[in-house]
């Protein structure tokens, strides 16, 4: 995708529109705990694909010694700067605009599945991390039970936006896909190590093909998600099948 087309697409993605869906990533209890463990007042942090900064950066830009952000969208970058993030516009197809071994912590939350060259970006993250630095890396799990059921019935949902995922998957912004096994292989290919791996987002009642959309018309998607909360522990116990999202703490080789 040409750079200008990419920027235009993600400017639209990050422009608030009350009449349609817009991204609102949540700081789940698991992510919050990991952020709090990794980021301190002495940390120099890079948020790769920082978005508009309203969810992770807005909270931790005021904790870290310095909190940098990169995003291809000028709309997202302008918003991120208002939240105290040292944000700059950057297309992740290019070398990261930082010297080697600059960062104590790099955050990359559900970004690499949007990229044509995710391995290149992970290699660049490795380059800018300090030898003892840590990467918090998260991706959707394409092999969770909801997608397995959809495939069994001839469907597919990439999971990028609710407006495209089921109805127009060819137009969805998710273009790379990960399972637990391929996620581990992806990280290992860059000679990096997953030291901790977690699953979250069981979302049983909102991930059922055919049934969930019908239920949502009756009770709403938010209530379906609440119904799933008591069985969220299944994502932790069986992440390969039950987790909608995978979160890893990654380090360069020791």
As to burial, measured by CB atoms within 10 angstroms (0-12 exposed, 13-18 middle, 19+ buried), residue 55 is middle
Domain that holds residue 112: 3-17+26-251
Question: What 3-state DSSP class applies to 64?
Answer: coil
Question: What 3-state DSSP class applies to 128?
Answer: helix
Round to whole Å and give the CA distance between 160 and 200: 17
Mean pLDDT of the chain: 89
- What is the band of 93 on the pLDDT scale with cuts at 50, 70, 90? very high
Using the predicted structure, report yes or no on whether residue 3 has a pLDDT greater than 60: no
Q: Kindly report the pTM of this predicted structure.
A: 0.90
Beta strands 44-48 and 66-71 are parallel
Using the predicted structure, report yes or no on whether residue 28 has a pLDDT greater than 80: yes
Q: Render pLDDT for 31-84 as a digit per residue (tens, 0 to 9).
A: 999 999 999 999 999 999 998 888 888 899 999 999 999 999 999 999 999 999
Q: What is the mean pLDDT of residues 165-173?
A: 80
Q: What's the confidence (pLDDT) of residue 206?
A: 75
Greatest distance between any 2 Cα atoms in the chain: 53
The length of the chain in residues reads: 254
Where residue 122 sits, what CATH number does that domain have? 3.40.50.150
Looking up tokens 């597919």, which residue turns up?
156
Q: What's the confidence (pLDDT) of residue 208?
A: 78
Asked whether 41 and 58 are in contact (CB, 8 A), the reply is no
Beta strands 245-251 and 103-109 are unpaired
If one counts the domains in the chain, the total is: 1
């Amino acid at each position: 995708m040409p750079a200008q087309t990419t920027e235009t697409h993600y400017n639209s993605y990050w422009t608030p529109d009350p009449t349609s869906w817009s991204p609102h990533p949540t700081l789940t209890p698991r992510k919050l705990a990991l952020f709090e463990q990794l980021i301190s007042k002495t940390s120099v942090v890079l948020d790769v694909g920082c978005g508009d900064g309203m969810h992770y950066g807005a909270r931790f830009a005021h904790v870290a010694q310095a909190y940098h952000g990169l995003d291809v969208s000028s709309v997202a970058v302008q918003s991120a700067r208002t939240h105290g993030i040292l944000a700059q516009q950057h297309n992740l197809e290019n070398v990261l605009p930082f010297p080697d071994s600059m960062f104590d912590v790099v955050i990359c939350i559900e970004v690499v599945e949007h990229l044509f060259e995710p391995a290149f970006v992970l290699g660049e993250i490795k380059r800018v991390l300090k030898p003892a630095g840590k990467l918090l890396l998260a991706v959707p799990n394409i092999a969770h039970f909801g997608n397995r059921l959809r495939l069994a019935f001839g469907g597919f949902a990439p999971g990028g936006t609710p407006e495209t995922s089921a109805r127009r998957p060819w137009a969805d912004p998710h273009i790379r896909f990960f399972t637990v096994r391929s996620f581990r292989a992806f990280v290992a290919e860059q000679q990096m190590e997953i030291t901790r791996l977690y699953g979250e987002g069981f979302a049983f009642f909102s991930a059922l093909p055919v049934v969930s959309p019908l239920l949502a018309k009756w009770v709403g998607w938010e209530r379906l998600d609440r119904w799933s909360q008591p069985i969220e522990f299944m994502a932790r116990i069986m992440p390969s099948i039950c987790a909608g999202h995978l979160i890893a703490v990654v380090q360069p080789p020791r």
